[in-house]
Amino acid sequence: MRNGTSPRSRWEIILDLLEVTSGEGSRAKKTRIMQKAYLDWRNFQRHFSYLLNHGFIEKIEDPVGGTCYKVTESGEYLMKRLKEVEALLR
C-alpha cells in the first residue's frame, strides 16, 4: 500500500490489488484481498472486476478452499511495469 494521506490513483489501487493477490499465493479470497488493499466493497468490485475481465487475475476453484484468485502472467507483467512507473514518479 502507498504511503501518505492523499487519495490513491486508479493505478495505485490496481497495483495494490495485484500485490495483495500475489502475496496471498494461489489461495487469495476476495474479502481478504479487499481488506488488505484497504478498499470498500464498491471500489474493490470495480477495480477487481477490471483485473478479472482483462485477464490480470484469474479465478480458481479449489475443492478444499472454494473460490480463490491468483495473479496471471500478464498480471505479473503489469505489476512489474506499474512498480517501474511508480519508482519514476517518486
The pLDDT of residue 65 is 74
Architecture of the domain defined by 10-89: Orthogonal Bundle (1.10)
Cβ–Cβ < 8 Å for 15, 86:
yes
Q: The pTM is what? A: 0.88
Contact 28, 21 (CB under 8 A): yes
Q: Is the dihedral of CA 4, 25, 64, 44 positive or negative?
A: positive
pLDDT for 43: 94
All structural domains of the chain with their residue ranges: 10-89
The band of 5, judged by pLDDT with boundaries at 50, 70 and 90, is: low
Mean pLDDT of 78-87: 94
